[in-house]
Structure 1
Amino acid sequence: MTGGRKAGDALSPTDARALSWFVANQAGDDPQGFEAWRAADPRHDAAYARIERLWGSSALAGAARRVRPGRRTRAATTASALALCLFAVTGIGLRLTGTQIAWPADHATAIGEIATARLDDGTLVTLDSGSAIDADIGGDRREIRLLRGRAFVTVAKDARPFRMLSGDAVIRDIGTRFAVARGAAGEQVAVEEGVVELRATADAPARAVLGAGQASAARGAGLAPVHAIEPFEAFGWTRGRLYFSGRPLGDVVDELRRYHRGWIVVANGDAATMRISGGLRLDDPDAAMAELARLSGTRITSIAGRILILR
């Protein structure tokens, strides 16, 4: 495992779609669709204009020199360079190349890596791609803080109490195997075995008690309702697999973005809402996206081996 702080997660949806349309326009794809998108919102036109302003710029020239020639069309090479410029301008170029900035953490994984750490008390912590924890095991304390990403914890038997912190949320173990994930929707907790107690903050009076096959989330000062989960899907990532049943393709792609060192965009709005079922390997996001394209009847455009666009 390696230390690292992930730069940004993605371009804004508007910039992402603008770049996708730019790539399409180089090949002359769907001009009517492009004009309709551009006219739908002034922000669309502004985003596309930002890309056009990069054309011929010194930044574009420099980025183009960094794109490995290979067997690509001029349009693909130009789009690759523009993407590199956009990532640099928005501060997420490091995410595109898979490079990470050193950041203190007791245990961490790089993008695309899933690894398990054994703590001093024998507790096993499996870290998902781009995740990190700090651990404080000693004296009468057993405490883990999730700094980013997602972790699956198999708590060792020990007389000392065990708790996990994620944001302001506090998860207290009562002998269990559980997963915690940090995200925009709050601190997500899912239990595979045993029981955990979840509080939105350390001193919050309200609590949720979760048993095997249940999940909840701490959102701000509140707790989401406890609900049932399908463990096979919820914990498949710990075995390097992503399983899904009747989920929108856009949601599945969101999961794959955790493991891809570059950028994935869905440029087909109809496909994004299509509900699909299946299983994918997480160690090969390119192959996984190709399978999603097959399931949804779409196609994949790959740029410089770093940018995948589903149309």
Structure 2
Amino acid sequence: MADNRENRDQVEQAAADWTVRLGGAPLTSGERAKLDVWLAASPAHRAAFDHARSTWANLDLLKADPGPLRADMTTAVSPMPIAQPVPRRRWGRVGAAVAGAVGAFGFVSFWFGDPLTILRADHRTDIGEVRTVALEDGSRVNLGPATAIAVHFDGRERRVELLSGVALFAPTPKAMAGGRPFVVEAANGEARALGTRFSVDRLPDAVRVAVAQHDVDVAAHAASGETAHAVLSPGRQVRYDANGLGSVAGVEVEQAEAWRRGRLLFDASPLGDVVAELNRYRRGQIIVANPALARRQVSGLFDAKDVDGAIATIATELGASTVSIGPFATIIR
């Protein structure tokens, strides 16, 4: 039974991938041939592909009429403009949530990630992928899923920009790198290594820095123009956002690095942050239906390979419900 389910999931994933690919640039002759071979391989392939195309078409219509949920979508961006109105469809609040999640980069960005991030990255991982990269100075970076970094080394400093996701940094000591400091930039702040191991996590509206070994100097530049600093010792963390640096707090290193072992550990974390992390492990997006729900706190230990199970458990604990739109989105409401 498990093998059948896994095979069905793989077929649906492939059908969704082909559907998204068809929404981009025209297929090359080689791609068209591969698609034809895949469709001919099994009636299940054709059925899954037709279903994915149908769902895709309905999502396209939803851009025109997001409905009442547009005002309270916590993850929404402005829907793409259309030339002419389309008759109202009875998709209700669920359909509107999907329409709100589809941003200005269109469905390809919604499915595969921000293309600008992909272009800027020197190293990146795919959805659900975790791997380690070695930088030219000998530093090692453990990249979490859906993570991208850009490396900017010069004669004065070793700067790494965390474009998306989460990463664990183990920099080569400054003395062994020509006296150049090791700095990780993320959003409106940076973490300057004074030690040997720390993680940086880009959340939806903030950045979290947690230290495992030695010290890290964190600086955040607020929208007001002020800059604040905090030196973190092992077992300490801090968050910063557009308003500046938050309060330093304790953190279990096991919790901060649980993703390295395929575990997702949350301790009174806002649902919005939890969903952002879960989205790194599956292609179809999880969307929270309103800001109040996104602020609800979640605690628990989940298996990164069973995101659907995590969603179901979290929804039950919060007294919420879920609705799926094919392989493309799951709404928590």
TM over 0.5: yes
Q: Which residue of 1 aligns with 2:220?
A: 200
Query: 1:89 & 1:143 partners in 2: Cα distance?
Result: 30
CA spacing shift, 1:239–1:82, aligned 2, 3 Å: same
Secondary structure of 1:242's counterpart equals strand
Counterpart Cα distance in 1 of 2:86 and 2:276: 28
Q: Are 2:270 and 1:256 aligned? A: no
Q: Is residue 143 of structure 1 aligned with residue 170 of structure 2? A: no
How far 1:247 sits from its partner (Å)? 4.0
The answer to whether the 8 A contact 1:153-1:179 is kept is yes
> 1: CA distance between counterparts of 2:311 and 2:229?
39
SS state at 1:180 partner: strand
Look up the match of 1:231.
253
Percent identity over the alignment is 33
Shift of residue 153, structure 1, vs aligned partner? 0.5
- How many residues are treated as equivalent by the alignment? 250
Q: Distance in 2 between matches of 1:257 and 1:172?
A: 28
1:177-213 CA-partner distances (Å, limit 9, x unpaired): 1112334544432112210112236x98752110011
Cα deviation digits, residues 144-194 of structure 1 (max 9, x gap):
122233221112335133222223423221122111233454443211221
Q: Which structure 2 residue ranges, 5 or more long, are not aligned?
A: 1-57, 60-66, 73-77
Question: In structure 2, what is the equivalent of residue 119 of structure 1?
Answer: 135
Distance in 2, Cα, partners of 1:199 & 1:89: 31
Matched residue of 2:280: which SS?
A: coil
Distance 1:109 1:292 in 2: 26
Quick one: distance in 2 between partners of 1:84 and 1:306?
Answer: 9
CA contact 1:152–1:238 (8 Å) conserved in 2: no
- For 1:303 and 1:205, locate their aligned partners in 2 and report how far apart those are by CA, in whole Å: 43
CA contact (8 A) 1:199 1:207 kept: yes
Residue type at the aligned position of 2:324: S
Of residues 185, 210, 221, the one that matches 1:190 is 210
Q: Which residue matches 2:111? A: 97
Please say if residues 173 and 196 of structure 2, whose CA atoms lie closer than 8 Å, have aligned partners that are also in contact. no
Change beyond 3 A, Cα 1:153–1:297: same
Q: Measure how far apart 1:132 and its partner are.
A: 1.5
Whole-angstrom CA distance in 2 between matches of 1:199 and 1:185: 17
Residue number in structure 2 paired with 1:69: none
* TM-score, L = length of structure 1: 0.63
Q: Which amino acid aligns with 2:142?
A: T
**TM-score for the superposition, normalised by structure 2:** 0.60
Q: Which residue of 2 aligns with 1:110?
A: 126
Contact preservation (8 Å) 1:95, 1:262: no
Deviation, structure 1 residue 109:
1.9
Q: Which moved more, 1:234-243 or 1:265-274?
A: 265-274
Equivalent position amino acid for 1:169 in 2: G
Between the two structures, name the one with larger relative contact order (CA 8 Å, sep ≥ 6).
Answer: 1
Distance 2:289 2:99 in 1: 20
**Alpha-carbon distance change, 153 to 246 in structure 1, aligned in 2, over 3 angstroms:** same
SS in 2 for 1:207: strand
Q: Is the contact between residue 189 and residue 215 of structure 1 (CA under 8 Å) also seen in structure 2?
A: yes
Aligned to 1:240: 262
Aligned to 2:187: 167
The residue identity in structure 1 corresponding to 2:112 is G
Q: Which whole-Å deviations, capped at 9, do the CAs of 1:31-72 have from their partners, x for residues lacking one?
A: xxxxxx96xx9957xx9xx9xx64479xxxxxxxxxxxxxxx
Distance 1:183 1:166 in 2: 10
| Superposition pairs of residues 26-65 of structure 1, within 5 angstroms | 43=71, 54-55=86-87
Counterpart residue identity of residue 98, structure 1: F
- Cα-to-partner distance string for 1:106-141 (whole Å, 9 max, x where unaligned): 111223333221112221112233322122446564
Flag structure 1 segments of 5+ consecutive residues without an equivalent. Answer: 1-21, 24-36, 58-74
